[in-house]
Amino acid sequence: MEKKLFTESPLKARPFLKWAGGKTQLLDELSKRLPKYIKQSQTIKRYCEPFVGGGAFFFFLKNHYEIKESILIDLNEELILAYKVIQFQHEKLIDLLKKIEKNYLEKNDEERKKFYYKIRSLYNKQMHNFDYKRENKQWVERTKYLIFLNKTCFNGLFRLNSKGEFNVPFGRYKNPTICDEKNLKEVHRALKGVTVISDDFEKANMYIKKETFVYFDPPYKPISNSSYFTSYSKEGFTDSDQKRLSQFYKKMDKGNAYLLLSNSDPKNEDPENNFFDKLYKKFTIERVDANRFINCDPKGRGSIKELIIKNY
């Protein structure tokens, strides 16, 4: 097998946010299922991820393969804003995160809690009339708030209420790393030349051509009443959205792209539930082991099956 040649030190980037539904635990299973040409050439001509989220799979691929062109898309404007800030203003962000980390760690537990809710309130107020389209001086500050909240909130969740406000409670971590300078610099390197877009997944239609490798990681369909995989945007991701995605998947398949998709398996709760088996019946559907870490009910945490669906 031909080895990847690096002109500088190998990348070691990993997600800069803790992200519900992150794919770190599925990386081995996903990497086993890469298209044959990628494994043989160690090169990806064009990569597109329409639900980038925390980006675990993208960073894994970037660390191990040469990607000629990358397009990352997510409907979550806060998330995409953070990617763009790290892409273009990472040094300023690191400086701000160092200051807020020092300030936070010097406080006692009660002071930390008050500080957390103060920042959360500022973050939610800032959302009103915020310009996500045109770069401005508030961008770095907002990303600072997002990373701070993510590293200090309960369970590292990103959850929005119906008003679009961040509503995760305080998490009591003894010594959280708010500014991971080394990784932020690696993420910055990984994002060089990458196209980053905030939009609906169907926007990817503009970028998916023949032989494009596409990984779909939509908000998972909840498999029980106590799981909450879809609260990453105030609109959520409904069953009709899942059906819309399956139609888009079929459309992209006709364009001879390499498609890989992951989702929850409803059969964990109901063996007769064929929701995804029907939607993707003409494609290869595999069930793999995974651990469910985020669940309101601790009894609902443990080993479950997840779906990996591919068209090649």
Q: The domain containing residue 252 runs over which residues?
A: 24-75+199-310
Q: Total domain count for the chain?
A: 2
- Last residue in a domain, options 126, 153, 183: 183
* Residue 28 and residue 127 in one domain: no
**Per-residue pLDDT tens digits for 132-161:** 999 999 999 999 999 999 999 998 888 888
Residue 2 has a pLDDT of: 45
Side chain identity at residue 206, one-letter code: M
* pLDDT level of residue 291 (50, 70, 90 thresholds): confident
Residues 65 and 203 in one domain: yes
CATH of the domain at 294: 3.40.50.150
- Same domain membership, residue 209 and residue 65: yes
Asked if the structure places residue 305 within a domain, the reply is yes
Task: Give the helix, strand, coil percentages of the chain, each rounded to 5.
Answer: 45, 15, 40
Predicted confidence (pLDDT) at residue 64 exceeds the cutoff of 90: yes
Is a pLDDT exceeding 90 seen at residue 25? Answer: no
What DSSP designation does 168 have? P
